[in-house]
Amino acid sequence: MADFKIATIPGDGIGPEIIVETIKVLEKIGGLYGHTFAFEEVLAGGIAIDEVGVPLPDVTIEVCKKSDAVLLGAVGGWKWDVLPGDMRPERALLGLRGELELYANLRPAVLHDALKGACPLRPDIAAGGIDIMIVRELTGGMYFGDRGRKQTPLGEAAWDTEMYAVEEVRRIAITAFELARKRKKHLTNVDKANVLESSRLWREVILDVAKNYPDIELDHLYIDNAAMQIIRDPGSYDVMVTTNMFGDILSDEASQITGSIGMLPSASLNKDGFGMYEPIHGSAPDIAGQDKSNPIATILSAAMMLQYSFDLDKEAKAIESAVTAVLESGARTGDIMSDGMRLVGTREMGRLVLDRIK
Ligand code: IPM
Ligand code: MG
């Protein structure tokens, strides 16, 4: 029995509709297992630009800091694409990650049995199943480095910097090794140490941390090779750790081989296990407000919240089992629809999951 305060950030596009379904799921879990979840909604992203003139209002950061966890839908949309870089909705995401020091981003890519047909890989390649945990560094590297523009003899030039300090690498390495220990004890480090100095330091630190984890099998892939191996033989990877930018790219690739980006949750954690939880997909403005989006990635993000921030493993499992049962029943939103299945909308999918939570 416990009380939890959750800051919710519905954001833009399909964000609000998937957050609504997820709140219902958490409330049902609370009722069944005797917890109280108090939700406080705050603004971020395009809607914050429209309503208060900035993508990430200070009060949003304050409310998040005072909460036990943050649940985020999605931010962004065409409407704001014309704004300068520091005024775009995406700044809200980067700002939240930086302000809340959420350096560890966990992005599980799991191929559900019921969705095997949606996997774009040849059946024999995916036959052994796919269950990869991508651990992406989230507050360093090029997305947070110095950038700028200058004049050169070749015309105007623009630059971004990739930089990693030892402690930044060490803490994400520890997150990855600890996760590997709870899973199959296999960690793959992904970098570009054949070219980048920042990657060479990255790898040195990974190797140093590895000394404390003799029970974990560690291997290394260059990012280009990793992008290839993940579709050549996805079953041979378990936990993968990498930089902010490489993790951004690799996690989209991993999500696609599981059939739909609409299915995948994520957790972004600080050193104390405080976290922001969000689907890895975006705001999908093309289908927003039409009852077509898939709420499962956000619902599964709430399950990760229960597991990683609140230590409620049983409750997290209850959500995951309900999702599996709904998929097995043949219900599908448009993004995961296939022949012979039953097409449902966002609200119906939410209701079906809710009904199966025990
Ligand atoms: C993600 C997104 C963000 C990122 C964008 C929207 C800033 O692609 O969460 O993967 O690059 O981190
Ligand atoms: Mg991305």
Render pLDDT for 74-88 as a digit per residue (tens, 0 to 9): 999 999 999 988 889
Q: How far is it, in rounded angstroms, from Cα 12 to Cα 9?
A: 9
Q: What's the confidence (pLDDT) of residue 86? A: 83
DSSP per residue, 116-176: GGG--S-HHHHTT--EEEEEEE-SSGGGTS-EEEEEETTEEEEEE-----HHHHHHHHHHH
> In the predicted model, what is the mean pLDDT of residues 197-210?
98
Q: What's the confidence (pLDDT) of residue 85? A: 82
Which of the residue ranges 37-51, 106-120, 165-179, 343-357 would you say has the lowest mean pLDDT?
A: 106-120
Nearest CA to ligand 1 atom 2: 248
Nearest CA to ligand 1 atom 9: 280
Please check whether residue 67 is in contact with residue 3, taking contact to mean a CB–CB distance below 8 angstroms.
no
Closest ligand 1 atom, residue 105 Cα: 9
Considering every ligand atom shown, identify the ligand nearest to the alpha carbon of residue 282 and give its number: 1
How many A from CA of 247 to the centre of ligand 2? Answer: 8
Nearest CA to ligand 1 atom 11: 248
Q: What's the confidence (pLDDT) of residue 317? A: 98
Ligand 1 binding pocket, CB closer than 6 Å: 90, 93-94, 248
Q: How far is it, in rounded angstroms, from Cα 266 to Cα 270?
A: 14
- DSSP 8-state class, residue 183: T
Closest ligand 1 atom, residue 93 Cα: 7
Q: Which of 56, 93, 134, 277 to mutate to test the pocket of ligand 1 (most atoms within 8 A of CB)?
A: 93
pLDDT at 103 over 80: yes
pLDDT at 90 over 80: yes
Q: What's the confidence (pLDDT) of residue 202? A: 98
Q: How far is it, in rounded angstroms, from Cα 172 to Cα 287?
A: 36
Summarize pLDDT for 319-350 with one digit per residue, the tens: 999 999 999 999 999 999 989 999 999 999 99
β pairing state of 186-191 and 275-279: unpaired
Nearest CA to ligand 1 atom 6: 90
Q: What's the confidence (pLDDT) of residue 260? A: 78
Q: What's the confidence (pLDDT) of residue 299? A: 98
Alpha helices in 258-295 (DSSP H): none
Which of the residue ranges 161-170, 250-259, 267-276 would you say has the lowest mean pLDDT?
A: 250-259
Active site residues: 143, 192, 224, 248, 252
Q: What's the confidence (pLDDT) of residue 66? A: 98
Band (117; pLDDT cuts 50, 70, 90): confident
Summarize pLDDT for 33-66 with one digit per residue, the tens: 999 999 999 999 999 999 999 999 999 999 999 9
Please check whether residue 174 is in contact with residue 209, taking contact to mean a CB–CB distance below 8 angstroms.
yes
Distance of CA 94 to the CA centre of its chain: 13
Summarize pLDDT for 275-325 with one digit per residue, the tens: 999 999 999 999 999 999 999 999 999 999 999 999 999 999 999 999 999
Sign, CA dihedral 327-235-304-88, equals: negative
Q: What's the confidence (pLDDT) of residue 223? A: 98
Please check whether residue 24 is in contact with residue 39, taking contact to mean a CB–CB distance below 8 angstroms.
no
> In the predicted model, what is the mean pLDDT of residues 24-32?
98
How many A from CA of 188 to the centre of ligand 2? Answer: 20
Closest ligand 1 atom, residue 248 Cα: 10
Alpha helices in the chain (DSSP H): 15-33, 46-52, 58-66, 90-99, 123-126, 166-182, 197-210, 223-232, 244-257, 296-308, 313-328, 346-356
**Average pLDDT of the chain?**
96
Q: What's the confidence (pLDDT) of residue 261? A: 80
Closest ligand 1 atom, residue 266 Cα: 9
> In the predicted model, what is the mean pLDDT of residues 241-256?
95
